Structure 1
Amino acid sequence: MTPGSNIPLAAARVTVDVAAPVRLDVSGLLLTADGKVRSDDDFIFYNQPSGPGVTYRSGGGSAPDAITVDTAAVPPGIEKIVVTASPDAAGQTFQGIEPTATVRDADDGSVLATFTPPRLGAETALVVVEIYLRGGQWKARAVGQGYADGLAGIATDFGVTVEEPAPAPAAPPQPVVPPRPLTPPPPPPAAQFPTSAPPPPPVPPAAVPAPGTGKVNLDKGRVSLQKNQTVSLVKGGRPLLARVKMGLGWEPAYGGDADIDLDASVIAYGPHRNHIDSCYFGKLTILNGAVKHSGDNLTGEGAGDDEVIVVDLGRLPKEVTGLVFTVNSFSGQKFTEVAKAYCRLVDATTEEELVRFDLTHAEPQTGVMMAKLVRQFTGEWEMTALGDFVKARTVRNMVKPAAEAL
């Protein structure tokens, strides 16, 4: 496997062992949808070798330590088990060490996959692989994310309470992400329905007022928004009540040498900012088919929209007065690793691009609110560019900040 690649698990019980030329401590953490443990009991290691559906096995120095995951016994609400490794010797880094994780069928010992994180250096701990639930299917993903502050840094990052004496308050642990190889994983399966074709050659956008000076409509053609600008979806004096597509796209930063697994979603709200429903990779259709998601894109590779959400404005229930379009990094990559992120509103009938918003800056967060559609008392819809970053790996964690953005 290569960093970012994944495989479906044919076995219900799998064992992950991590071998290296030196002794390693291997651990497992059970994580909920927000990427955190429920309590310290979800941290499985040599001093706490068993938990619900997850057990630790010591190799005794002659064999590698291992974590076994019984997916059938993993409790509801746990969506991911991350397997970590750190050198047993205090202060030792992974410089010159090539740890290899092997995923096996826990019952017959057959090898399902192997993964060696590339180009390691000053890291003293790694998230090596993760066993995760996606769309009802358990999978294994190669990660290789490094930390410079040891296993305690990983544990703290995932919500485990670590009590260690320190001369001064320590800064929050900062992940050290190793470079990824040039070879991408296999392309994801086809979406439920085709995503949009690459956008047409650039055309001069309609002039828009400076931020805070008002809004425009679609009479003069495509509108290019800046952050916090608004466009009324009115053309020829009439509200646009038709099927539209919100296409969202991105590319890996730094020359495209990494796959970026981001998830686009839309959250529907009522007139009191009350959450009605969310459409995302795990729930591709909501509101009786008025909102549909194209499916999950695991790499961000290629031209055109990476994920598309189709909204039939005319079929939306009257109680839906606001839609917020978000993008999350399910695997924890920050938006500083993403380039050319954008969203664009397209007429689903003519494929004409109506509105575009290019994200011109990035913050080291795992979620971003790209844009919102708000129904006015007159019945017309307005689109506002947001570009606001938040700490949220899943759409569930975007519900509250997105409501505040309406």
Structure 2
Amino acid sequence: MAQGGNAPLGSARVVIEVTAPKRLDVSGLLLTAAGKVRSDADFVFFNAPQGPGVTHRPAGGGSPDAIAVDTAAVPGEITRIVVTASLDDQRATFAGTEPTATLRDADTGRELFTFTPPRLSRETALVVVEVYRRGTEWKVRAVGQGYADGLAGIATDFGVSVEERTPAAAAATAPEAPPVPPAAPQAPGTAPRGAATPPPQAPGTPPPMPSGSPAVGKITLDKGRVNLVKGGSVSLEKGGKPFLSSVRMGLGWEPAGHGRSIDLDASVIAFDAQREKIDTAWFMKLSIFNGAIAHSGDNLTGKGGGDDEAITVHLAGLPPEVCGLVFVVNSFSGQKFTDIKNAYCRLVDTATDQELVRFDLAQSEPHTGVAMCKLVRQFSGEWVMTALGEYVNAKTARSMVKPAAAML
């Protein structure tokens, strides 16, 4: 299988073996539609080898570490089983020693699929493959998504208490820097934490707007639907007041060639006032901030009418430290944006399903990622949408974090 590829599972009971030139620890995580484990009991590894429908098989007798999946025994609320690999030597990386996953029929041992991710570098842990439901059918997808912070990074992303359960936590590690406390809610007209404090204003004058926001004469939603061009902005206000509490960002595209499928992935990256990433909603983590941001799920072809993927944002439910959202689209399988056409993003009022703002990407470039637009919370509390259309060589949302932060 190629990275990003998917196929019907082909058997109700399978074993996923993972091998590499270096010693590995293989684990499985049972995830709900929200992209999280229900509890630490849904994390299956060598110290906790049994889960509902999922079992860890330790290496021995010539057989490698593996995760066995009996789809008939997997609880109905579980939509995905993610198979991970981490290096036993926590000082080593996967550079030049990419692991290979072999999926076999558990009853006959027959090989069904193999997958080796493209060349890795600083990664010390990897989401190798995922077994997932599509309606009543079970499928397998080649992922190959790397993490530089070991299995603990993967486990934390999926909601596991790493202090208690992960093998990585059992080893002695250097003390981590204390976490930065979340920003307190800001009074209207004050700068977010870390931003320059605006000078005092004369009575009756509005507070200064942050860099990149519309100037006097800004575009709002007062006159109805707004079409943006690259670099254009619109305030989500109407009649001088916030107009929206919940919005849906729809993203769409079409294959440029006849009959070709294009597997693109839409994501949203949330940042704080210091342009530090807080969290990301993507195809492997569909819900963040207790559902304040919800992803519609992965579209694997780009075909069909309407939005290919959509991300709903309940603006009123976002934590106060969230100051910016950047919506990105990536080609997980490595296809360039010159292979697509008619890419767009549009902002929709979830209450009325009315399209309010639209940005059509005017040109394509031979890159694997694009930042489509951003939503930025102003000092006053209003939200402003800006069309970006900036291309980046990045196959995943994880690789888009630094470029996206620089665009805020």
TM-score, normalised with respect to structure 2: 0.56
**For each residue in 1:136-178, what CA deviation from the matched residue of structure 2 results, as whole angstroms up to 9, or x when unmatched?**
79965699xxxxxxxxxxxxxx9xxxxxxxxxxxxxxxxxxxx
**Residue of structure 1 equivalent to 2:249:** 246
Secondary structure of 1:289's aligned partner? coil
How big is each residue's C-alpha offset from its partner over 1:291-333, in whole Å with a ceiling of 9 and x where there is no partner? 1111111111100011111111112121111000011111221
2:7 alignment counterpart: 6
Cα RMSD (Å) of the superposition?
Answer: 3.9
Aligned residues: 264
Matches within 5 A, 1:105-116: 105=105, 108-110=108-110, 112=112
| Equivalence for 2:309 | 307
**Equivalent residue of 1:75, what SS?**
strand
Alignment check: 8 A CA contact 1:267 1:323 kept = yes
User: Separation in 2 of the partners of 1:326 and 1:246?
Assistant: 11
> 2:160 corresponds to which residue?
none
The 3 A distance-change label for structure 1 pair 369 and 71 is farther
Runs of 5+ consecutive residues of structure 2 not aligned to the other structure? 27-62, 68-82, 88-93, 119-126, 147-213
Aligned to 2:225: 222
TM-superposed CA distance for 1:394, in Å, is 1.4
**Pick aligned residue for 2:285 from 272, 283, 291:** 283
Distance 1:392 1:71, change over 3 A: farther
1:76 to 58, 64, 86: 86
Deviates more, 1:332-341 or 1:132-141: 132-141
Q: Can you list the C-alpha shifts for 1:73-94, whole angstroms capped at 9, x where unaligned?
A: 962388x9679xxxxxxxxxxx
Query: Residue in 1 aligned with 2:56?
Result: none
> 2:338 corresponds to which residue?
336
Letter matched to residue 401 of structure 1: P
Given residue 262 of structure 2, which amino acid in structure 1 is its aligned partner?
I
Specify the alignment match of 1:349 in structure 2. 351
- What's the counterpart of residue 60 of structure 2? none
Corresponding residue SS for 2:230: coil
Aligned counterparts of 1:340 and 1:51: Cα–Cα separation in 2: 46
Q: Distance in 2 between matches of 1:272 and 1:386?
A: 20
- Flag structure 1 segments of 5+ consecutive residues without an equivalent: 16-29, 31-41, 55-67, 84-101, 115-126, 144-157, 159-210
Displacement after TM superposition at 1:277 (Å): 0.9
Spell out, residue by residue over 1:237-284, the C-alpha distance to the aligned partner (whole angstroms, 9 max, x if none): 2122411000011111113x1111111111111111121111111111
AA partner of residue 267 (structure 1): I
Q: Note the alpha carbon deviations across 1:90-140, whole angstroms, 9 max, x for none.
A: xxxxxxxxxxxx9754873436479xxxxxxxxxxxx9xxx9523779965
1:233 lines up with 2:243 in the alignment: no
The answer as to whether partners of 1:326 and 1:367 remain within 8 angstroms in 2 is yes
Pick from 323, 327, 333 the counterpart of residue 325 of structure 2: 323
TM alignment of 1:122-201, pairs within 5 A: 132-134=128-130, 140=140
TM-score by length of 1: 0.56
Cα deviation, residue 398, structure 1:
1.2
Correspondence for 2:191 = none
* Other structure's SS at 1:308 match: strand
CA distance in 1, matches of 2:139, 2:305: 27
In the superposition, relative to structure 1, how do residues 253 and 237 fare at CA in structure 2: closer, same or farther (>3 Å)? same
Distance (Å, rounded) in 1 between the aligned partners of 2:232 and 2:352:
25
Distance 1:375 1:278, change over 3 A: same
- Matching residue's letter, 1:246: M
Q: Hey, what does 1:390 align to over in structure 2?
A: 392
1:214/1:360 CA distance change after superposition, 3 Å: farther
- In the aligned structure 2, how far is the partner of 1:366 from the partner of 1:284? 21
